Structure 1
Amino acid sequence: MAAPPKKAFPLRLDPALYAAIERSAAGDLRSVNAQVECLLREALSRRGVKLEPPVKRKRGRPPKDEAKAPEGEA
């Protein structure tokens, strides 16, 4: 089952705030986008807002389709 698409929207940040998020993301081995999402989830959780856990996306190559003919056969 595919993960639902994420909502994209423009976000304007103060350059100093962006730099701080960028440093924090690098320390956590995340992208800036993933770090912003993580920080927002943490802030909402502290305020008592209940969220479902994020949908984990599968990583790596998709499994080989067994119904396909091997390479070179048609």
Structure 2
Amino acid sequence: MASPGKKAFALRIDPLLWAEVERLAAADLRSVNAEVEVLLREALRTRLGEAAMARLARRPRPPSGDGDAES
């Protein structure tokens, strides 16, 4: 079950890429899920810049339980 306010989704990923993310997560003392979120934020910051990331952080979040999460 997803944490409140978080969107759950299925991800198909190359096993070698998954192993590398697991290695990074362990080195950073994070769960793989938290590591993926960190990596996505870093990638967005690189592509969009800090100003865009600040705008995203200020946007209201949709209510949890929107029915899109997989069981």
Q: TM-score range by the shorter chain?
A: 0.5 to 0.7
Q: TM-score, normalised by structure 1?
A: 0.62
1:27 corresponds in structure 2 to 27
**After TM superposition, which residue ranges in structure 1, 4 or more long, deviate above 3 angstroms?**
none
Map residues 27-46 of structure 1 onto 2, 5 A cutoff: 27-46=27-46
Q: What is the rounded CA distance, in whole Å, between the counterparts of 1:45 and 1:11 in structure 2?
A: 21
Q: Which runs of 5+ in 1 are unaligned?
A: 54-74
Q: Which runs of 5+ in 2 are unaligned?
A: 59-71
Shift of 1:4: 4.8
Paired positions, count: 51
Bigger Rg, which one: 1
Q: What is the rounded CA distance, in whole Å, between the counterparts of 1:25 and 1:4 in structure 2?
A: 22
Identity, % of aligned positions: 63
Greater relative contact order (Cα < 8 A, sep 6+): 2
Shift of 1:5: 1.8
Report the 3-state secondary structure (helix = DSSP H, G, I; strand = E; otherwise coil) of the residue aligned with 1:30.
coil
Greater helix share, structure number: 2
Q: TM-score, normalised by structure 2?
A: 0.65
**RMSD, matched Cα:** 1.9
2:18 corresponds in structure 1 to 18
Q: What is the rounded CA distance, in whole Å, between the counterparts of 2:40 and 2:20 in structure 1?
A: 15
What one-letter code is carried by the residue in structure 2 that aligns with 1:30? R
